[in-house]
Structure 1
Amino acid sequence: MIPDPKLIAEIMRKTAEKIVLSRFQSLGADEITANGTGDVVTVADLEAEDTLAKELQIILPGSEIIGEEGVSRDPSIVGALLGSNPVWIIDPIDGTQNFADGKTCFAMIVALIAKGETIAGWIHEPIQNRTVWAIRGEGAYEDEKQLRINGSKSIPRLRGSMNLQYHRWLDERRNIMGKEKFLVREIVRYRCVGAEYADLARGRLDFARYGGRLKPWDHAAGVLIFNEAGGYGAIISTSASYHVGPTISDQVLLLAPNRGSWQKLVELMIT
């Protein structure tokens, strides 16, 4: 049932070249608006989502589409996750604010869901023309190269993504006696979760904390790719794995190189 992953990557690459990159740093003021949830959306988001949806449904007849922009118009379409048909989840441009501002850190995300499980995921970075992808049970790849993260780093060597609150937290903790040796090396935020997931799988980032409403177009593909690269992720409050579902609720997801470092990071964050 899973199409050739290289074919999906090529569809994303061609869509990026034709629609996304052709408008990069050349958007008119009337081509940047806000969607139904108040998030920035551009004409490139809308056209790329429409193109990807059509191409993916040709590749997999009978499949359903859940796109970020489609959900902003009709939230009920997430109910397709409860059906028996396979579902494509699309974020046509993740990091839209960066894209609209002319910054190079943005990505395109596609995930394939079957019976409530993410079975494949792709993250394409148009500027770099690179695609990170995974098939459940078959590992994670960047184009042809298999990706495996380094799970042997100690906590003080870890570089990760958390929000600005934790930038301040890190600075404060550095001034507390006895805490220095337990602190992580660096905290960053790309404002593009797709690019962060790609770097997590590459080992350029070691951990990430995502809180709030965990939207499937942001996280479904990335969590699968990170897990297939050898990482460990779970919801902090329950220690349960992240699962895609029709209800988007407030949760905190923590990703780390392995379960041991995950537990140490949890303890560090709550003390």
Structure 2
Amino acid sequence: MNTLDQAVAALLAQVAEEVILPRFGRLNASQSEEKTPGDWVTIADRESEAILTDALLQLDADARVVGEEAASLDPSLIEAVARGRVWLVDPLDGTNNFADGREPFGMMVALVEDGVVQRGWIYAPMTKRLCFAARGAGAFIDGTRVTCGERPARQPIATYSNYWFSGADCAAIERKAAGTLDLRHGLRCAAAQYAALVDGTHDIARFERIYPWDHAAGSLFLTEAGGQVARPDGRLYALTDTGKGLLAAAASSLWERGAHVLGTVTD
């Protein structure tokens, strides 16, 4: 990690310690609200994004900052993430978990140049674990280089978020997975989900929402470790993609197995 990488890592740890952790399990009713049905934001999201935005601009004055909460107020910001040098910020990923007083939740920052993710940081405030990746230079957990791949000693563990699908679609997924995948519910936290694909906890993950701040850092981290990320139909993932659906796996062979079950959901 170079000086900039270390500065971002230290910034995430500081904001977690000063803004996020003191509020975990201590939010009152006035400190959280629904942005849209089922999608929560808290005072910790907003305060941490404000601090991160100011600090990242000081680290690189030539870059713009696009944060999740700013983009929720001005969706046109998403259209600009593929132009120029941009910090993408998810100040508190897994907010629904956080608001309920449970884990996992995390923080993510990515540095993007002309739509290509160059560096990504994923920080877990509770464990203080840092996942980091630099394009062409590998993926690291707490400074140790890591790789991922198939784990032949077990049936692949695949996660998906059943609340996004109808009962019929969930039944179809269960039928397809039988004898092929060990199917489990998603973590409701992309920061934790991408880390789980690399550290061996999970093998395949289907995401529905594809906002760029949810996947920029994680997709780089996974692919630099040897995994694969693509739209469920096999198209390459781009930060400006719209719609729903993203499939990630610890190896290309696992991605293919996941696509058979979780790609086209309905029979």
TM-score (norm 2): 0.88
| Superposed displacement of residue 173, structure 1 | 4.9
Which residue of structure 2 aligns with residue 243 of structure 1?
A: 238
Structure 2 unaligned residues grouped into runs of 5+: none
Are the aligned partners of 1:37 and 1:72 in contact in 2 as well (CA < 8 Å)? no
Q: Cα distance, 1:61 vs. partner?
A: 1.1
Q: Compute the displacement of 1:205 (Å).
A: 1.1
Match of 1:257 in 2: 250
Point out the more displaced range, 30-39 or 164-173. Answer: 164-173
SS of corresponding position for 2:80: helix
2-side partners of 1:203 and 1:255: how far apart?
Answer: 13
- The residue number in structure 2 matching 1:186 is 183
The answer to whether residue 5 in structure 2 is matched with residue 5 in structure 1 is yes
One-letter code aligned to 1:5? D
Q: Where does 1:12-91 land on structure 2 (aligned, <5 Å)?
A: 12-35=12-35, 39-84=39-84, 86-91=85-90
Distance 2:107 2:146 in 1: 19
State yes or no: 1:215 paired with 2:211: yes
How many angstroms apart in 1 are the aligned matches of 2:132 and 2:138? 9
Size of the aligned set, in residue pairs, is: 258
CA RMSD of aligned residues (A): 2.2
Q: Deviations over 1:65-115 (max 9, x none)?
A: 11110011111222332433x101111111111111110210111111101
Gaps of 5+ in 1: none
1:224 is the counterpart of 2:220: yes
TM-superposed deviation, 1:49: 0.2
Once the two structures are TM-superposed, the CA of residue 171 in structure 1 deviates from its matched residue by 4.4
Residues 170 and 39 (structure 1 numbering): CA distance in 2 closer, same or farther, change over 3 Å?
closer
Q: Secondary structure at the match of 1:161?
A: strand
Q: Aligned runs of 1:104-183 on 2, under 5 Å?
A: 104-153=103-152, 157-164=155-162, 165=165, 168-169=171-172, 171-173=174-176, 180=179, 183=180
Distance 1:80 1:265 in 2: 32
1:173-211: CA deviations, max 9, x gaps? 57xxxx63xx11232311111111111121211111123
Deviation at 1:265, TM superposition (A): 2.6
Letter in 2 for 1:241: L
Instruction: Work out whether 1:196 is the aligned partner of 2:203.
Output: no
Instruction: Quote the Cα distance in structure 1 between the aligned partners of 2:152 and 2:173.
Output: 19
- Between the aligned residues of both structures, percent identity stands at 33
